[in-house]
Amino acid sequence: MKILIFIYSIIIYSCDLKIKYDDFNTNGDKPIVFSKGWGEKYKYPIILDLSNQILDEDKTNFKQIENAVSTWNKAIGKKIIYLRSGSNNFTGNSFNDLYLPFSQNINGIYFDQLSNGNGGWIKNTGKSANLIATTIYISNGSFIIKASIRMNRDTYIFGDTTVPLNNKTHFYVDLESIILHELGHVLGLGHVLNERDSVMYPYISIGENSISNPTTFRVLSDNDIIRIRSIYVN
């Protein structure tokens, strides 16, 4: 089962992650969307505040997301992204509009999940139920000003797909792989449609990882590294 990933914006962008990760550059193949990243004057690192809800569901989620952050930082050769936990009490259901997270002065990572009949992925984001995640931006057109990641917890279970679930499900998604792709968008990369070895390729398999159905995508390709270094390494 394949999933597509994407992400995009105008002064505001949104990227969606389906069976298809998401939909960042909906106009087709565009490996680098923001060649200036977060701008020449941005004081790094970019702090991403992880929603407490994500840790409350499973404490191991932090390590998987941290692994994805570390992968990009190592490729760039310096700490461009810093993952922070414990200070973001908001959830996806705190924001009943796709871009409402920007009302808070943080760059966050959220689960959107139906709760007590209120909220939920479709209602909050307006996105399709089969999309896995979306990354939203505020941009001045040439570089990024703010970004947040929202994940479709209504349809999908996020975790380490190399570890079997007690209750098998086709909707089991590798969290580290998804975050690695979405962080590529946060850093300014778009989709590459003709490089299946790139983490920015917009499709991923879901379910438990196996030889016949590999569902992890945790290693940057040579071109991924070249592109991200072209943005952040002078």
Domain ranges of the chain: 19-233
In terms of DSSP H, where are the helices of 48-207? 52-57, 61-76, 121-125, 175-186
The predicted pLDDT at position 5 comes to 43
Query: If phi over 0 gives left and psi between -120 and 50 gives alpha, with beta otherwise, what is residue 214?
Result: beta
State how beta strands 203-205 and 81-88 pair: unpaired
pLDDT digits (tens, 9 = 90+) for 5-54: 433 333 345 555 444 445 454 446 789 999 999 999 999 999 999 999 99
What pLDDT digit, counting tens, does each position of 158-216 carry? 999 999 888 777 799 999 999 999 999 999 999 998 999 999 998 899 999 999 889 99
Q: And the tokens for 116?
A: 């007590």
Q: What is the pLDDT of residue 117?
A: 67
- Spatial CB neighbours of 42, under 8 Å, sequence gap ≥ 6: 143
- In the chain, the N- to C-terminal Cα span, in Å, equals 40
How far CA 46 is from CA of 5, 80, 195, 201, in Å, comes to 22, 6, 27, 24
Dihedral through CA 102, CA 51, CA 110, CA 60, nearest 10? 150
Residues 6 or more apart in contact with residue 37 via CB below 8 angstroms: 143, 144, 187, 188, 231, 232
Alpha-carbon 13 to chain mean position: 13
Taken in order 26, 134, 183, 5, the sign of the CA dihedral is negative
Query: Please, are residues 22 and 203 in contact by the beta-carbon 8 Å criterion?
Result: no
**HSE of 50, CA atoms in CB hemisphere, 13 A:** 23
**Fold of the CATH domain 19-233:** Collagenase (Catalytic Domain) (3.40.390)
pTM equals 0.90
